[in-house]
Amino acid sequence: MLSQKIAQYLESLRDMTLDMLKQKLASAQSEFFQLKMKNILGQLENPMLMKLKKREIARIKTIIREKELGIDHRRKIFASKPYNEKVTKKGGSE
C-alpha cells in the first residue's frame, strides 16, 4: 500500500494539466541529470536521491500516459468480464 504522502503527491499530479506535467517532467529530468553529474564527481552525499528521482520521473510519465489514454484512476470501474472467466489467446481455440 502506498504511503499517505505518496498518495497525496500522486493526487496532486493527477490534478495537473498535461502541459504542467510535461514541465514537471522536464524539471525532474534536469534534476536527475544534476544528481548524476554530482554522483560522477563524487559530490553526491546520498546516492539514494537518484533512485527516488527516477521513480518520480516514472510516476510523472505514467500519469502523462494515463491522461493521453483518458484513464481516470479516481473512478473505481473494473473490467466487465468476471474474474474467473478464461482468457483465450488470439488465434487459439478452446
Residue 50 has pLDDT above 60, yes or no: yes
Residue 63 has pLDDT above 90, yes or no: yes
Cell 489467446 sits at which residue? 89
CA atoms within 13 A on the CB side of 77: 4
**H or E stretch at 42:** none
Q: How is the chain split into domains, by residue range?
A: 4-69
Average pLDDT over residues 28-36: 97
C-alpha span between 94 and 86 (Å, rounded) = 10
**H or E stretch at 52:** helix 48-69
Number of other CB atoms surrounding residue 91 within 10 Å: 5
pLDDT digits (tens, 9 = 90+) for 68-87: 998 877 665 445 555 555 65
pTM, two decimals, is 0.73
Q: Does domain 4-69 have CATH number 1.10.287.310?
A: yes
